[in-house]
Amino acid sequence: MSAVIESHGHDDHHHGPAKGLTRWLYTTNHKDIGSLYLWFSFAMFLIGGVMALVIRAELFQPGMQIVEPEFYNQMLTLHGLIMVFGAVMPAFVGLANWLIPMMVGAPDMALPRMNNLSFWILPFAFFILLSSLFMEGGAPNFGWTFYAPLSTTYAPPSVTFFIFSVHIMGASSIMGSINVIVTIMNMRAPGMTLMKMPLFVWSWLITAYLLIAVMPVLAGAVTMMLMDIHFGTSFFNAAGGGDPVLFQHIFWFFGHPEVYIMILPAFGIASHIIETFSRKQLFGYSSMVWAMASIAILSFVVWAHHMFTVGLPLAAELFFMWATMLIAVPTGVKVFNWVTTMFKGSITYETPMLFAIAFVVLFTIGGFSGLMLAITPADFQYHDTYFVVAHFHYVLVPGSVFSIMAAVYYWIPKWTGNMYDERLGKLHFWLSFTGVNITFFPQHFIGLAGMPRRYPDYALQFADWNAISSVGAFLFGASQILFLFIVLKTVMGGKKATPQVWEGSRGLEWTVDSPAPYHTFTTPPKVS
């Protein structure tokens, strides 16, 4: 990002960043680390995106054309793992790093050195994961959910490297989350009570709590896998008294809170942007907080809705169905609050607002298909079809990813001091919006018609919608090159931004200069 030039001479409290590569290697500055996270996440987004395009190219027409089925499985697995752990999660951590200290009026994150460690583990972890492509037997090929025994008895040897890579990603997430929680609990400016915190901060406080609660469970799951594969235990092997379904229980006990980890910060972002461009105060602040907390708590008791067809006792099927449907209540509160905030507002449609409105609408579509999937008897039809793929891509791409893009457009004037090119931004939005819907909406139809997910080939009757979906995917993919161009152009220069940037923006980060000085709030501001 842009170098912040402040020459205060000998005043060692207010100097700018170090020069050269070591600035990034040794940094303890939350803004530097935030930028590292964001760039890393964008690189992973492109790598995972290319993998998605390999998948969509193969599925463009029935039959096997481009890749071997074994390689297709590896692309499928790595696409999922990279997008979840490499793209979406680090992007939110990057935003947290950039924004939370400024939003709460803190000089930096609470534990700055550990913050740097949390980031630098990630490039190594993903180097290990990607290097498995070149190992004997190929990369992991068992899907991002790595169900046993596919990931144990039938796994390629590279699974051991996958396991350790997940271990250190988990360590990075746990340290990152501890940092976020400690910063929020301990570093708020005087006067900023919990219920005065910006919603993005609230959303991250809850997300960090979820992360610390479930990343260790994932570590436990992969450890059991490691022991089953190499040391003769039988956690997931019925021959020794274990159960492959046990893996699914442990995995989804992690996995369901994990999917909320990828959406809660998006809720925070949407709240800020909608409020700003509606030029109104957010409707129902405290209900937003309580809704996020309820969603987080409920996320611990819904995991088995991913497993309705594995043979659960009836009582479990019913419990997990009702508990899952209950989540629609707090989520509905949030959606209605956003709509009510826009109601009678003086709305302008700058790029962040376009992404935020698309987020609300398309995330809601993904939420509704989620409700359909929650209905146990109906799920027996939908389970493991493209309907599920459509559902979670609707909540993750126009949900999480759109919110991240909205956040980048919204805060990039604060980060770089320059306004992005509004015309290009809108073009990027409309291309992405069109691409994402062409890609994923038809997948609802082919899923309901019975096309199973995770196969490189399919029956002829699914051909038309698959071809359309592939065209959409390439449109969406190509439009992200435009995004990269816009961001680079903004970093290089552009119309200078004012401190407040947006007419309706409020919050501490808009009280400092644009670009934000390298060190902000070395003495805490007073919040009334």
Partner 1 sequence: MSYQKYYVPEQSKYPIYLAIALFLLVMGAAGTINDLGKTDSNSAYILYSGLAAFGVTLYFWFRAVIREHIAGLDSAQLQQSFVFGMAWFIFSEVMFFAAFFGALFYVRNFSVPWLGGEGEKGLANMLWQGFESSWPVISTPDAGSAFALADKSMSWPGWGKALMWLPLWNTIVLLSSSVTVHFAHLALKNDNKKSFNKWLGVTVALALFFVGLQALEYYEAYAHYGLTLNSGIYGSTFFMLTGFHGFHVMMGGLMLAIMLSRSVLYNHFDPHNHFGFEAASWYWHFVDVVWVMLFLFVYIL
What residues numbered 218-247 form the site for partner 1, per CB under 8 A?
Answer: 219-221, 223-224, 226-227, 230-235, 237-243, 245-246
The answer to whether the beta carbons of residues 205 and 97 sit under 8 Å apart is no
Q: Name which of residues 105 to 124 contact partner 1 (CB under 8 A).
A: 106-108, 110-114, 116-117, 120-121, 124
Should residue 215 be labelled a site residue for partner 1 when binding is judged by CB under 8 A?
Answer: yes
Listing DSSP states for 442-464 in one string gives HHHHHHHTTPBTT-S---GGGHH
Note if 303 is an active site residue: no
Phi, psi of 394 (to 5 degrees): -65, -40
What are φ and ψ of residue 85, in 5° steps? -90, -20
Q: What φ, ψ does residue 421 adopt, rounded to 5°?
A: -80, 105
Contact present, 183 and 255 (Cβ < 8 Å): no
Whose tokens are 């993903």? That residue is: 126
C-alpha 411/C-alpha 392 separation (Å) is 27
* Residue of the chain from 281, 346, 461, 522 that contacts partner 1 (CB under 8 A): 522
Is 144 one of the catalytic residues? yes
Q: Which residues contact 22 (CB under 8 A, 6 or more apart)?
A: none
- 61 near partner 1 (CB under 8 A): no
Tell me which of 43, 57, 133, 213 binds partner 1, using CB under 8 A.
213
Q: Which of 51, 75, 150, 174 binds partner 1 (CB under 8 A)?
A: 174
- Please confirm, yes or no, whether 306 is among the known catalytic residues: yes
CA 470/CA 61 separation, integer angstroms: 9
Stretch that binds partner 1, among 141-149, 172-180, 385-393, 498-506 (CB under 8 A): 172-180
From the list 207, 331, 351, 439, the catalytic residue is 331
115 versus 351: smaller Cβ distance to partner 1? 115
Is 256 catalytic? The answer is: yes
The active-site residue out of 453, 454, 489, 506 is: 453
Q: Which of residues 281-320 bind partner 1 (CB under 8 A)?
A: 311, 313-314
- Contact flag: residue 25 with partner 1 (CB under 8 A): yes
Instruction: Give me 167's structure tokens.
Output: 């271990």
Name the residue nearer to partner 1 (CB basis): 223 or 381: 223
Identified catalytic residue from 31, 56, 188, 256: 256
Type of residue numbered 480: Q
Query: Total binding residues for partner 1 by CB under 8 A?
Result: 78
* Contact set for partner 1, span 2-21 (CB under 8 A): 18
Min separation Cβ 128 and partner 1, Å: 7
Q: Does residue 377 belong to the site contacting partner 1 (CB under 8 A)? A: no
Query: What is the C-alpha to C-alpha distance for residues 502 and 103, in angstroms, rounded to an integer?
Result: 16
Minimum distance, C-beta of residue 64 to partner 1, in the bound complex (Å): 31
Instruction: Select from 177, 156, 165 the least CA-distant residue to 222.
Output: 165
Q: Which of 79, 272, 393, 428 is catalytic?
A: 79
**Of 334, 383, 391, 519, catalytic:** 334
Residue where the block lists tokens 């796994």:
155
3-state secondary structure of 130: helix
Phi, psi of 444 (to 5 degrees): -60, -45
Site for partner 1 in 383-422 (CB under 8 A): none
Catalytic residues: 79, 108, 144, 172-173, 256, 258, 260, 271, 305-306, 331, 334, 453
